[in-house]
């Protein structure tokens, strides 16, 4: 534990520090027994820990309480992941104070074998929620961080997180669920817009500061395009693993599931059986529609962005039915598919029709060519009448698809051949019974 900065402490303060040292749990395995000294701060009591670091309740030289997370190099296998975590906090620090549901990073420092960052302190889980009228602004905070008027008791303090709320109260009422969901989706969208991902969204990493829910445990924040180690918490991790914005959306969906149902995330997608105990069941069913989409195992069907998820929550907040909107969307999708199938079928039939028409024209043209060739052969043999018959058939069968020039050429050929044919010059009428010679045939030859 860090020694006090001032050498002239009151006996009461010294006694407090002694009691805090005795109340603080032993250092987790892999962490140093004594934390490093943090300039201008007294480390009072360990209040949280993770895979790579620990969180301390601390007090600055003005007597204001803060949370300080210390991340140790020795908890990583090599320098590269350690430096990657430090790079993530460097990138997050400038944007942390630009959104109300991001935990404020007030200072970042580094020492031999560790780095640390100072954060605003979460509300005390043992204290009732403090209304805005009971807040003041500390002059010592560089960004004007509001704090409670009541004096915090460091011996009994524990951070108010969404996990502590669920453990104490069970599932939350609809309005509270919706408000928390709206704020956290905007926080996640803000993080993703700056090219960062959280990687470990879960109820214990969501704290309340002056009643406002905030994304915490920023030590796991990293660039969305970085090659990341596999981190996260079982049940909140999507099938594809962490490290992408849609993985954060999946994790946040599981958080909403626990918050709205009071059930463990491993029970998803089961719903509470005691429907009578659910406040505003119809509204909760609307929220469940958001949860189911956010937690879809198929990333292609999941929300594409936190903004899209937030937009659906706004629809619910406005009193409109997301469930009915989903039904309309599905029907439109079905009609669209049917329409596409109809268009495809029409196109297929049209293609078949035009193919058949083309094949018919090809067959007719081939027939015409054969008929013309037969006529030419007969004409060469001196059989002009026979040739005329074939040329006439060729013109009649192919006239529907011949061009005007082709039709004219055929008619010219017919005229020329017709000129070669013998003509009947004169015919004399006779009674029917007198027409033709009378001939008698005998077996021995014609009669004389």
Beta partners for 197?
A: 222
Mind spelling out the 3-state secondary structure of 299-365? CCCCCCCHHHHHHHHHHHHCCCCHHHHHHHHHHHHHHHHHHHHHHHHHHHHHHHHHHHHHHHHHHHH
pLDDT of residue 6: 43
Asked whether residue 431 is domain-assigned, the answer is no
Residue 12: band (very low, low, confident or very high) from pLDDT cuts 50, 70, 90: low
Is-contact 185 306, C-beta < 8 A?
A: yes
145 has pLDDT over 90: no
- The more confidently predicted of residues 129 and 37 is 37
Task: Looking at the structure, tell me whether residues 361 and 311 fall in a common domain.
Answer: no
307 has pLDDT over 90: yes
Asked whether residue 325 is domain-assigned, the answer is no
Task: Looking at the structure, tell me whether residues 33 and 164 fall in a common domain.
Answer: yes
Task: Looking at the structure, tell me whether residues 163 and 35 fall in a common domain.
Answer: yes
347 has pLDDT over 80: no
CA dihedral of residues 254, 257, 258, 264 (deg, nearest 10):
-70
pLDDT of residue 199: 86
Highest mean pLDDT among 10-19, 72-81, 177-186, 354-363: 177-186
pLDDT tens readout for residues 175-218: 999 999 999 999 999 999 998 998 889 999 999 999 999 998 86
pLDDT of residue 41: 96
Asked whether residue 425 is domain-assigned, the answer is no
Asked whether residue 173 is domain-assigned, the answer is yes
Count of C-beta atoms within a 10 Å radius of residue 65: 18
223 has pLDDT over 70: no
pLDDT of residue 383: 80
pLDDT tens readout for residues 31-71: 788 899 999 999 999 998 877 889 999 999 999 999 999 99
Asked whether residue 153 is domain-assigned, the answer is yes
318 has pLDDT over 70: yes
pLDDT tens readout for residues 78-112: 999 899 889 889 989 999 999 999 999 999 999 99
CATH code, 285: 1.10.510.10
- The more confidently predicted of residues 361 and 75 is 75
pLDDT tens readout for residues 248-275: 999 999 999 999 999 999 999 888 776 5
| Domains: count for the chain | 2
Tokens of 124: 């005390």
pLDDT tens readout for residues 403-448: 777 777 777 777 777 777 776 555 555 555 554 555 454 455 554 4
Task: Looking at the structure, tell me whether residues 132 and 261 fall in a common domain.
Answer: yes
Which of 274, 296, 320 is at the close of a domain? 320
Residue 328: band (very low, low, confident or very high) from pLDDT cuts 50, 70, 90: low
Task: Looking at the structure, tell me whether residues 199 and 85 fall in a common domain.
Answer: yes
Task: Looking at the structure, tell me whether residues 303 and 399 fall in a common domain.
Answer: no
Task: Looking at the structure, tell me whether residues 403 and 297 fall in a common domain.
Answer: no
Distance CA 343, CA 275 (A): 46
Task: Looking at the structure, tell me whether residues 285 and 372 fall in a common domain.
Answer: no
Asked whether residue 326 is domain-assigned, the answer is no
Task: Looking at the structure, tell me whether residues 135 and 19 fall in a common domain.
Answer: yes
Asked whether residue 330 is domain-assigned, the answer is no
- The more confidently predicted of residues 197 and 30 is 197
Picking from 213, 240, 375, the residue whose alpha carbon sits closest to that of residue 296 is 240
Task: Say which residue the tokens 């599932």 belong to.
Answer: 171
149 has pLDDT over 50: no
Asked whether residue 243 is domain-assigned, the answer is yes
Distance CA 13, CA 289 (A): 53
144 has pLDDT over 50: no
386 has pLDDT over 50: yes
Task: Looking at the structure, tell me whether residues 358 and 267 fall in a common domain.
Answer: no
Task: Looking at the structure, tell me whether residues 219 and 306 fall in a common domain.
Answer: yes
Start-to-end CA distance of the chain, whole Å, equals 157
Give the structural domain span for 402.
352-420
Tokens of 81: 């992941």
Percent of the chain with pLDDT over 90: 40
Task: Looking at the structure, tell me whether residues 299 and 381 fall in a common domain.
Answer: no
């Amino acid at each position: 534990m860090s020694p006090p900065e001032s050498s002239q402490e009151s006996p009461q303060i010294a006694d407090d520090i002694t009691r805090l040292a005795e109340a603080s749990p032993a250092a987790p395995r892999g962490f140093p027994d004594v934390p490093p000294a943090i300039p201008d701060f007294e480390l009072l009591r360990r209040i949280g820990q993770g895979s790579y670091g620990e969180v301390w309740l601390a007090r600055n030289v003005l007597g204001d309480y803060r949370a300080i997370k210390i991340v140790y190099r020795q908890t990583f296998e090599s320098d590269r992941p350690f430096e990657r975590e430090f790079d993530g906090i460097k990138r997050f620090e400038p944007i942390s104070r630009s959104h109300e549901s991001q935990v404020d990073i007030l200072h970042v420092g580094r020492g031999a074998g560790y780095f640390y960052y100072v954060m605003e302190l979460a509300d005390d889980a043992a204290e009732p929620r403090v209304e805005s009228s009971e807040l003041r602004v500390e002059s010592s905070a560089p960004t004007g961080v509001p704090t409670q008027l009541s004096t915090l008791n460091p011996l009994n303090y524990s951070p108010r997180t969404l996990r502590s709320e669920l453990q104490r109260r069970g599932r939350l009422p609809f309005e509270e669920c919706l408000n928390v969901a709206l704020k956290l989706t905007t926080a996640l969208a803000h993080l993703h817009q700056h090219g960062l991902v959280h990687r470990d969204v879960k109820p214990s990493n969501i704290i309340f500061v002056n009643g406002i829910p905030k994304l915490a445990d920023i030590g796991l924040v990293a660039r969305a395009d970085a090659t990341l180690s596999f981190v996260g918490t079982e049940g909140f991790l999507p099938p594809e693993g962490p490290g992408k914005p849609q993985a954060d959306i999946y994790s946040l969906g599981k958080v909403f599931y626990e918050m709205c149902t009071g059930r463990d995330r491993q029970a998803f997608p089961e719903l509470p059986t005691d429907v009578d105990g659910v406040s505003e069941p119809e509204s909760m069913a609307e929220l469940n529609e958001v949860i189911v989409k956010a937690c879809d195992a198929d990333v292609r069907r999941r929300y594409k962005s936190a903004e899209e998820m937030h937009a659906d929550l706004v629809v619910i907040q406005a009193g409109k039915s997301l469930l009915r909107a989903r039904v309309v969307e599905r029907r439109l999708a079905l009609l669209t598919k049917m329409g596409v199938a109809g268009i495809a079928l029409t196109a297929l039939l049209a293609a078949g029709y035009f193919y058949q028409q083309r094949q018919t024209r090809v067959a007719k043209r081939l027939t015409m060519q054969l008929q013309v060739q037969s006529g030419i052969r007969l004409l060469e043999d001196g059989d002009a009448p026979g040739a005329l018959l074939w040329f006439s058939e060729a013109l009649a069968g192919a006239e529907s698809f011949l061009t005007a020039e082709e039709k004219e050429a055929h008619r010219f050929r017919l005229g020329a051949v017709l000129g070669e044919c013998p003509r009947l010059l004169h015919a004399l009428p006779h009674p029917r019974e007198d027409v033709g010679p009378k001939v008698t045939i005998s077996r021995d030859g014609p009669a004389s």
